[in-house]
Amino acid sequence: MSELRKITPQKLLWVDLEMTGLDPRQHRIVEVAAMVTDWDFNELGAYEAVVHQSPQVLERADPIAKQMDKTSGLWDKIPHGLPERDVEKALCDFIKQHFGDQPALLAGNSIHVDRMFIRAYWPSMDKLLHYRMLDVSAWKVVMIGKYNIQFQKSEKHRALDDIRESIAELKFYLDKAKFNDANS
């Protein structure tokens, strides 16, 4: 772990998963998007896929997640999605392409939930990730609780749209915090 502490990430790996619910013991991943950015949030690469799940898995979907997936148009695409092993392999290749041997710093909204699913279902991908994460929802809690400042989300519930919205949300909070940019 001491070797990992010395690494200063030059890029971020933004990930968003759409799942059949929030419990990795009973729910599954149905869509993933990943985007690599620099610290100015310039997009350096992106990957997205719908993940095939069986009718039995879909029957166990949480009703709220199922409704969101139906509203977003995702639900009808799941039976035609890619096999989960193929998606994990493609994600691992994507991460290695952009991060080489360095662990990727995972970023996103409530990213700890996505990380639970990654650990449960995509262990090869999990091994490529840094132990630290950048969670935009932590910024949300501070900005709402302390400053009553809230970012208005569109709630599209599609993975790549959600990543772009998470990046916009973090930029919004950083602008409100008015940090001095040492690079300016």
Question: Residues near 160 by Cβ (< 8 Å), separated by ≥ 6?
Answer: 16, 33, 35, 46, 48
Number of other residues whose CB lies within 10 A of the CB of residue 3 = 7
- The H or E element spanning position 133 is strand 129-135
Residue 11: CA atoms inside 13 Å, Cβ hemisphere, count?
A: 22
CB 125 within 8 A of CB 92: yes
Active site residues: 131
Amino acid at 91: L
Rounded-to-integer distance, Cα 35 and Cα 40, Å: 13
CB 96 within 8 A of CB 11: no
CA quadruple 146, 171, 178, 151: dihedral, nearest 10: -30
Rounded-to-integer distance, Cα 57 and Cα 69, Å: 14
